[in-house]
Amino acid sequence: MYDLIIIGAGPAGIAAAEYAARHGFKTALIEKEALGGVCLNSGCIPTKTILNTTKLFSQFKKSAKFGIDCAQEPRIDLSRLGQRVKEVNTQLRAGLDFLVKANKIDFILARAVISAPGQVICAGKTLEAKYILVACGSRPIELPKIKFDGEKIISSAEALDIRDIPKKLLIIGGGVIGCEFAEIFLSLGSAVEIVELTPNLLPGIDKEAARRIESVFKKKGAKIHLNTDASTLNFADYDKVLLCVGRAPDSDCFLGLDIKKERNRILVNEYLQTSVPNIYAAGDCIGGYLLAHAASYEGRLSVKNMLIGNTQKADYKAVPSCIFTNPEIACVGLSEEDARKKEQEVIIKKFDFRALGMAYVFDETDGFVKIIADKEENILGAAIAGHKASELIHVLALAVNNGLKLSQVRDTIFAHPTVSEAIAETLLH
C-alpha cells in the first residue's frame, strides 16, 4: 500500500515524487518509456544542447572580430554532436536515478492504467494507494490532412536525430518549437521555410519580440509564410517537412474510471484535484502552459495539497516563457497587448541593447528589454529579446510574483558592465 502512486516520470512526476518522499510519503513512480520523460529524452534538453552548439558555431564563424585567427573554417560534426546529446542525457538520467534511489522511491518502468480511485494496474500487478497523481505529459499533434510518416513528415523528436542536413526544410508551425528548430537548421545551412496559420510567429508571445525574431530569421535567409494554411503548399518541393503545431495532452491512463476531461485534457480544480477526490493531475496532461518548469511547480503543489488538505491554489501570474533562438526571447506576466486590454492606463519602459556596453563586448547588440506596469507603477509583466534573455527574465519574474513596483527594481544597484544592468537602465530612462 502506497501513500502516493505517480504515473509519468517527466518534470511533474519527478518533482512530485521527490517532494512526497521528503515529506514521508511511501511513493511509487511509474514511467512507460524513460526516466525524465519527453523533456529530458526528446524535448527541452536535447534541443537546447543542439542550440548551444549552433550558437557556438555562429560565434566561431565571426571569431576574427574577436581577434581570434582560425586556420580553418569551423564546421559541425553531426556524429559528434549526436554523441554530445547522448552524453548530456545519460548524465542527467543518472542524476535522476540517484535522486529516485536516494529518496527510496519505487521506480517501475511499465505502462500503467488506473482501474479504480485507489488502484493502478502495471506490469501485471494491481497496486493500491491513498492518492494518485497523473503526470502523463503530452504528444505531438497531427493535422487532419498532414500525418507523421517518420520519413518525409517528421515530428520534433525525429528532427533531433540529425544525420543528414536537409537542403530544403519546411516547418509547419511558427510557435516556440518551430522557431527553435528554424534556428537550428538555419545555422546548419538548410534553406528553411516557416508556415504559420496566424498573423505572427510565436502566437501568445509579445508581438514586438515576435517581430524581432521574424526579422532576424529573414536576415538569415528564412522564408516565412504567415496567415497561410500548410496544406496549400507542395511538399514535394522540400526534403523534409517538420510538423510542430503544438502538443496534445496524453491522458489515456484510465480503465473504466469516469473522470472529467475536455478534449483529452484532464480537468482539475485550482488545487490540481480531478473530479475523483483522491486523484490529482499535473503537467502537460492538464493543458495550460506546457512548460517543464510549470509542470514541476504543479507536481510539487499537488502533493502539498494532498498533505495540507487543498489549501494552496495554483498561481500562474509569473510563469516565465523562454525561446532559445539567437537572439533569445523571454516573457513573464502580462504582455503589452494584454495589459492594455486589462488596464485603463499602462506604463511601458523600454531599453535597447544598442545602448548597452556589455552587448558590444559580446557583439550581441540586437535586443531590447520592455517592462510593463500599471499607473500605480506595479510591475505587470516584461518581455526581453536579446542575449541571455532566458536568464535575465527571472529578475522580472521575481518582481511580478512579489508585486514589486518600478521604483523597487530601479533603485536596486546592478553591477556594471553586465547584460543584466539593461533591466535597471530600462527604468532609468
| 8 A C-beta contact, residue 312 and residue 165 | no
Place of cell 509569473: 318
**Residue of 32, 49, 43 lying closest to 290 (CA atoms):** 43
Active site residue 416: yes
Q: Can you tell me the distance from the alpha carbon of 303 to that of 191, in angstroms, rounded to the nearest whole number?
A: 47
Task: Compute the CA torsion angle 263, 194, 47, 190 (nearest 10 deg).
Answer: 150
Q: Can you tell me the distance from the alpha carbon of 359 to that of 418, in angstroms, rounded to the nearest whole number?
A: 8
Catalytic residue among 23, 394, 416, 429: 416
92 burial (CB, 10 Å; 0-12 / 13-18 / 19+) is middle
172-184 as b/e, with b when 16 or more CB fall inside 10 Å? bbbbbbbbbbbbb
Q: Can you tell me the distance from the alpha carbon of 91 to that of 86, in angstroms, rounded to the nearest whole number?
A: 9
Strand partners, 242: 154, 171
Strand partners, 25: none
CB atoms < 10 A from the CB of 141, how many? 14
Q: Can you tell me the distance from the alpha carbon of 120 to that of 424, in angstroms, rounded to the nearest whole number?
A: 52
- Upper half-sphere CA count for residue 65 (Cβ side, 13 Å): 10
Place of cell 491554489: 313
**What grid cell was written down for 212?**
524581432
Q: Show the CA angle centred on residue 218, arms to residues 213 and 222, nearest 5°.
A: 110
Q: Can you tell me the distance from the alpha carbon of 416 to that of 354, in angstroms, rounded to the nearest whole number?
A: 16
- 3-state percent helix, strand, coil for the chain, nearest multiple of 5: 40, 25, 40
Q: Can you tell me the distance from the alpha carbon of 245 to that of 145, in angstroms, rounded to the nearest whole number?
A: 13
Strands (E), 304-396: 321-323, 328-333, 346-352, 368-374, 379-386
**Residue 60 CA to its chain's centroid (Å):** 27
Give the length of the chain. Answer: 429
Catalytic residues: 416
